[in-house]
Structures are given as C-alpha cells and as structure tokens.
C-alpha cells in the first residue's frame, strides 16, 4: 500500500530530473557547443539577452534597418548576433564581402525554408528558383525586361497614370467619395476646400497592379475602376494568411510537413491558391489558343506573338525549335504570374508613396520638380524625354536611396565558405581578421537600399543608404541635389560611393546587386517616372495640417502607417489639390 506513493515520488523526481537534463543539454548544445564550434566565433557582436529569443526581440521592436544600424555603430561594418534558439547570424556592410555574397548565388542562395514557404504560395518562379532553374528562367525572362521591351510598355504606364489622375480628380470633386478616399475620416483641420485627404498608397497600388497586369500578362485588373477583382482578392488573401503568423503558423512555416495540417490559415492559402491557379491557367490557355490559331504551322522561337512578359514565357513554353535549356514548363509559366504580382506591385507603389511623402514634406523641392515637368510641352513625352529630366532623376534616386521599398533580404551559406573583407576587423581575441569562415547553414542579413548586409542569411538593404561614411553628414536627409553633386565623373566622391555600394543601379542596393539583382529595375524606374510626371503636372501633395506621425512597417516591403491609427492598416494620407490650369 505505502509503496505506491513512493514509486510516484521517484517517478516525479525522475521526470523532473530528465527534464532538467534535457534542458541543460539543449542549453549546452544551443549556446555552448554551437558557440565553440562556430567558425566565425571570433567575430564580435551584441550579446544575446534571452535564452530562447537571442536578440530577435530588439530587431522586431526597432525594425531590422534601425537595429542593424545601431549595432553597426557599435560593432562596425561586420558583426554577428543570435536570433531564435540561439541561431547565429552574420551581417556585413563591407562592400567586398557584400559583392562576394551577392555575386556567388550558388554558395549563398535564399534560405531553403523561406523559399519553400514562398514557393507554396507563388510557385517556383524566377524570384524563388535557385541554381540551374534560376539561370534558365532568368535568361528566358531577361529580354522582356530590356530597355527596348520597357519602351514598348510606356503607353501602358501613361494610360494608367492618366486613369489614376482622373480617379484622384473624382475623389476630390465628389464629396460622396470622401469615405473611400482614406481609411479614416478627415479631422476638422484636414478638411480644406478644393482639396481632399487621400490615402495615396491605396490609389498608387491600384495603378501599379493594373500596370503589372497588362504589361506582365495582358490582364486588366481594372483596379482603378471596379471595386473587386477575383484574382487580386485571392492573391491578397493568400498573402495575408501566409504572413499571419500565429504560433501554429510559425510551426507550420518551420517544421517540414506541418503545413499539411488543415488549419484555418492553410485552408485560406489553399483556397486562394486554387483561384489564382484557375485564373492563371485560363490566361495561359487563352494565349496558347490564340497562338495556335495564328501559327497553325507550329510556333518558332523567332515568331512575334505579343510583348507582354507572359507571351514571351509562353513562347519559351511552346516553340518547337527550342533546346531544353530554353524552355519553361507549364508550372513555371504559371508561377511567373504570381511572381510578377508580388514583385512588381507593392515595391513600385510604395516607392512612389515614399517619394510623394518626401515631396509633401519639402514643398520647395516639389515646386522645383513640378516646374521641370511643366517645362515639357507634350502630355505624353517619350521615355527618353522623361529620363533626361535631371531633377526628376535626382528625386527618384534620392527617394529610392532614403526609403528603399525592400529594405533587407537574407541569404544562407549552402556550404562552408570563406567571405573576404575589404576592411579587416578586430577579432574578439585581438587579432585582425581579413576574411570570415562561415559554416554551411549560416544566415546572412543584407540591408538593401542601404549599406548593411547581415551574414546569418539576411541582406541589409537599408543600411547602405543611410551610412554617413558613404553619403556624408546629410545621409539621413532627403536631398536630391546630392546626385547633381556626384554626377560629374571627376568628382572623387562618386568613385568613393561606387566603390562602397555593389548595387545594380545608381550606386544603391535598392535593387540589390550581383546575379540576382532586380530584373524589373528599368521597368520600375520608367513606371515611377511616368506616374510622377503625370501627377506633378496635375496636383500638389501636401502634408495633412494635422501632421500625423508616419511609421515604417516592414514585412518584406517597407510600408507606411500612422501612429494611433494602426487598426486602419497601412496608409499614407496626404492633402491632394488639383492644379488649376
């Protein structure tokens, strides 16, 4: 009789002991063993403050760009830190290290788990594919993003820019539309006769999704005209469910196989995906049918079938005289549709949004840009004319420098690798280090629009843009004239900047660099300039008299919201006034 409780006591003690041993073992493994065996343990960085979370909470609280800038001040160009469960991360804004990482895509691909989560939604398109698949897709798509292909799309940019203009005019003129102009009603001081508080993020987003629909796959979302669209809604639902990370959602994102559990989140993703696939397949079938009718004798790779990007993909899918390494599968063609919807919409619309915001904060600069735009006689000038406007160019560069739409990205070492440094660092043991050994699986953080890259898998785009060493004491100010200053080739500052930032465009990392730079950067620049050109000639954009506090909220893309109006979601309300002719 009395034996039983004693057995239970022993059992309880045994269980408690086992749990303690397990936790000690886990702690030992995560923090001591991994530290001892870490090949880059000699690199300095912040001490993790939490057993489980490492330094992740600071990153989330301060925002990745801010937190990395703070550490950059403390630890220099190259450092390391720890995130969830003590996983080590590497960061470097050293330009030599950055170009090495971005130039060796096979050694530093996107982290496999992140790719899988993205591929579950987008399919294996050019944004997600790696290695040989990526090179093949990129080669097939490159011609549709060339300067001459982009020139062919300029009429689409103008058509949608003018539709956007008409939409804004109707929002200003029709008081009944005030409720849809912005997510929150105008405060009394923001009600100004002849003007309207308008959430420019929302309406620019309508214009850019319309543009990418037509230029990308010959599909008019008509977002500027009709309130609802099945494809757009399914796509949005899929992403908001994908990014809605409940505990179960995080488990599903991290544990292989767990995403087969039919939670509400997964069911939303599956249902939305079924819709995007159905519509995508229909678009592809319609196009194929038209091609079969036009080219009854069989399609050859030189045949002209339309300039939208999907047509070029379909040609690479159908043409009989293509080698296997020039072909795309049906699934890959389908995946490019969702890829364009993701990569081509939010980035361009937020870029324009942040530029308008800076122009609203600097009315004298806005006037200067407007005068330049008004000096052109033509309402729809050629892209050569628009590109040749010097102040327009400086404003767009400066906007993309200061507020990069995709501020950071991540890479992961797929094998043990040695990363060279341009600027040697002081190791924790006091010795100088001029190259860093990363073990397989290390995540690297790369700050994009800016100068910082983090080698635990994240690439810090935003840090480069803000560095005072690169851009001078006014690095954090919106000053388009800096580009006039450094445009002369004889200016030593120009060479200095070019040496510091291994980006594909404008000495910025905004479109990243290396072999996986943004394929759409010419497209994006032309689109941004055309829309800005039309808007500057039609409206003034002012900060609201109530001066709301804008916050940056980053989930892949950095978008604005208003402090105190978080529940209203992402927004950028400005006071928009038509220019009386």
Piece of the chain touching ligand NAG by CB under 6 A; list 27-35, 231-239, 329-337, 359-367:
231-239
Q: Which of 246, 374, 435, 546 binds ligand NAG (CB under 6 A)?
A: 246
For the bound state, the minimum distance from the C-beta of residue 470 to ligand HEM, rounded and expressed in Å, comes to 18
Pick one of ligand HEM, ligand NAG, none as the site partner of residue 144 (Cβ within 5 to 8 A by kind).
none
Q: How far is CA 211 from the centre of its chain?
A: 18
Which ranges in 111-199 belong to alpha helices (H)?
Answer: 112-122, 131-141, 147-173, 178-181
Token output for 577: 């006034």
Tell the residue number behind the tokens 């979370």, with chain if given. Answer: 53
Using CB under 6 A as the criterion, which residues of the chain lie in contact with ligand HEM when the complex forms? 126-127, 138, 212, 339-340, 343-344, 347-348, 351, 404-406, 409, 448, 461, 510-512, 516, 518-520, 523-524
Pick one of ligand HEM, ligand NAG, none as the site partner of residue 46 (Cβ within 5 to 8 A by kind).
ligand NAG
Is 487 a binding residue for ligand NAG by CB under 6 A? The answer is no
**Does 518 show up as a binding residue in the annotation?**
yes
Q: Distance (Å, rounded) from C-alpha 11 to C-alpha 342?
A: 55
Backbone angles phi, psi at 155, to 5 degrees: -60, -35
The smaller minimum CB distance to ligand NAG, of residues 109 and 125, is found at 125
Is 232 a binding residue for ligand NAG by CB under 6 A? The answer is yes
- Whether residue 463 contacts residue 450, with contact meaning beta carbons closer than 8 Å, is answered with yes
Q: Distance (Å, rounded) from C-alpha 451 to C-alpha 458?
A: 13
Sign of CA dihedral 576, 449, 64, 128: positive
Pick one of ligand HEM, ligand NAG, none as the site partner of residue 273 (Cβ within 5 to 8 A by kind).
none
What angle (nearest 5°) sits at the alpha carbon of residue 322, between those of residues 320 and 323? 130
Pick one of ligand NAG, ligand HEM, none as the site partner of residue 126 (Cβ within 5 to 8 A by kind).
ligand HEM
Pick one of ligand NAG, ligand HEM, none as the site partner of residue 299 (Cβ within 5 to 8 A by kind).
none
Which runs of E-coded beta strand occur in 78-122? 78-82, 88-92
Is 214 a binding residue for ligand NAG by CB under 6 A? The answer is no
Q: Distance (Å, rounded) from C-alpha 562 to C-alpha 553?
A: 10
For the bound state, the minimum distance from the C-beta of residue 307 to ligand HEM, rounded and expressed in Å, comes to 13
Residues 6+ apart with CB under 8 A from 2: none
Piece of the chain touching ligand NAG by CB under 6 A; list 30-38, 228-236, 330-338, 571-579:
228-236
Is 345 a binding residue for ligand NAG by CB under 6 A? The answer is yes
- Whether residue 125 contacts residue 339, with contact meaning beta carbons closer than 8 Å, is answered with yes
Looking only at the bridges linking them, the beta strands covering 408-412 and 78-82 are unpaired
Q: Distance (Å, rounded) from C-alpha 246 to C-alpha 367?
A: 46
For the bound state, the minimum distance from the C-beta of residue 8 to ligand NAG, rounded and expressed in Å, comes to 39
Q: Which of 88, 109, 205, 520 binds ligand NAG (CB under 6 A)?
A: 205
The smaller minimum CB distance to ligand NAG, of residues 144 and 345, is found at 345
Please return the burial class of 110, using the count of CB atoms within 10 Å of its CB with bins 0-12, 13-18 and 19+: buried
- For residues 160 to 199, the per-residue mask of contacts with ligand NAG, x marking binding by CB under 6 A and - elsewhere, is ----------------------------------------
Is 202 a binding residue for ligand NAG by CB under 6 A? The answer is yes
Long-range contacts of 426-429 (CB under 8 A, 24+ apart): 426/44, 427/42, 427/43, 427/44, 428/41, 428/42, 428/43, 428/44, 429/42
The smaller minimum CB distance to ligand HEM, of residues 58 and 527, is found at 527
The smaller minimum CB distance to ligand HEM, of residues 181 and 461, is found at 461
**Cβ atoms within 10 Å, residue 488:** 9
Token output for 48: 């993790």
The smaller minimum CB distance to ligand NAG, of residues 240 and 385, is found at 240
Is 226 a binding residue for ligand NAG by CB under 6 A? The answer is no
The smaller minimum CB distance to ligand HEM, of residues 280 and 405, is found at 405
Q: Which of 90, 158, 235, 471 binds ligand NAG (CB under 6 A)?
A: 235
Q: Which of 120, 346, 452, 527 binds ligand NAG (CB under 6 A)?
A: 346
For the bound state, the minimum distance from the C-beta of residue 351 to ligand HEM, rounded and expressed in Å, comes to 4
Residues 6+ apart with CB under 8 A from 154: 382, 383, 526, 530
Is 347 a binding residue for ligand NAG by CB under 6 A? The answer is no
Binding residues for heme: 518
Q: Given the rule CB under 6 A, which residues bind ligand NAG?
A: 46-50, 55, 57-58, 65-66, 69, 71, 201-202, 205, 209, 232, 235-236, 240-241, 244, 246, 264, 341, 345-346, 349-350, 466, 476
């Amino acid at each position: 009789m009395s034996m039983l409780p004693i057995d239970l006591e022993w059992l309880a003690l045994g269980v408690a002991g086992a749990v303690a041993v397990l936790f000690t073992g886990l702690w030992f493994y995560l923090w001591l063993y991994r530290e001892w065996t870490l090949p880059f343990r000699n690199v300095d960085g912040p001490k993790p403050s939490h057993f489980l979370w490492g330094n992740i909470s600071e990153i989330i609280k301060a925002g990745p760009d801010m937190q990395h800038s703070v550490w950059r001040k403390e630890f220099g160009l190259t450092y390391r830190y720890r995130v969830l469960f003590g996983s080590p991360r590497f960061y470097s804004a050293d330009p030599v290290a950055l170009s090495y990482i971005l130039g060796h895509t096979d050694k530093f691909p996107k982290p496999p788990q992140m790719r899988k989560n993205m591929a579950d939604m987008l399919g294996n398109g050019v944004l997600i594919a790696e290695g040989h698949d990526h090179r093949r897709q990129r080669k097939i798509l490159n011609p549709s993003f060339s300067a001459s292909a982009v020139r062919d799309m300029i009429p689409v940019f103008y058509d949608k820019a003018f539709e956007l203009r008409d939409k804004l005019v109707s929002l200003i003129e029709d008081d009944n539309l005030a409720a849809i102009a912005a997510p929150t009603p105008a405060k009394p001081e923001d009600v100004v006769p002849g003007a309207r508080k308008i959430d420019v993020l929302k309406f620019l987003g309508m214009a850019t999704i319309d543009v990418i629909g037509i230029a990308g796959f010959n599909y008019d979302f008509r977002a500027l005209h009709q309130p609802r669209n099945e494809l757009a809604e399914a796509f949005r639902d899929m992403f908001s469910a994908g990014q809605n990370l409940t505990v179960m959602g995080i488990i599903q994102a991290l544990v292989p196989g767990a995403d087969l559990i039919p939670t509400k989140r997964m069911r939303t993703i599956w249902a939305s995906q079924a819709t995007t696939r159905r519509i995508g397949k229909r678009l592809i079938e319609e196009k194929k049918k038209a091609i079969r009718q036009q080219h009854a004798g069989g399609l050859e790779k030189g045949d002209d079938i339309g300039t939208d990007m999907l047509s070029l993909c379909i040609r690479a899918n159908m043409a009989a005289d293509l080698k296997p390494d020039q072909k795309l599968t049906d699934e890959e063609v389908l995946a490019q549709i969702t890829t364009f919807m993701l990569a081509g919409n939010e980035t361009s619309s937020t870029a324009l949004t942040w530029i308008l915001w800076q122009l609203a904060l600097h009315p004298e600069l806005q006037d200067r840009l407007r005068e330049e735009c008004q000096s052109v006689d033509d309402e729809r000038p050629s892209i050569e004319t628009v590109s040749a406007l010097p102040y327009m160019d400086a404003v767009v560069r400066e906007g993309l420098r200061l507020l990069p739409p995709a501020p950071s990205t991540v890479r992961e070492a797929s094998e043990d690798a040695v990363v060279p440094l341009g600027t040697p660092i002081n190791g924790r043991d006091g010795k100088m280090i001029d190259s860093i050994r990363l073990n397989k699986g290390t995540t690297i953080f790369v700050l994009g629009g800016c100068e910082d890259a983090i080698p635990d898998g994240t690439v810090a785009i935003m840090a480069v843009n803000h560095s005072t060493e690169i851009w001078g004491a006014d690095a954090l100010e919106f000053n388009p004239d800096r580009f006039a200053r450094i445009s002369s080739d004889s200016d030593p500052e120009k060479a200095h900047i070019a040496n510091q930032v291994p980006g594909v465009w404008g000495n910025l990392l905004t479109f990243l660099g290396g072999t996986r730079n943004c394929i759409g950067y010419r497209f994006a620049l032309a689109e941004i300039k055309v829309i800005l050109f039309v808007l500057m000639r039609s409206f003034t954009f002012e900060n609201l008299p109530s001066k709301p506090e804008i916050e940056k909220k980053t989930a892949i893309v950095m978008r604005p919201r208003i402090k105190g109006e978080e529940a209203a979601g992402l927004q950028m309300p400005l006071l928009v006034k038509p220019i009386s002719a």
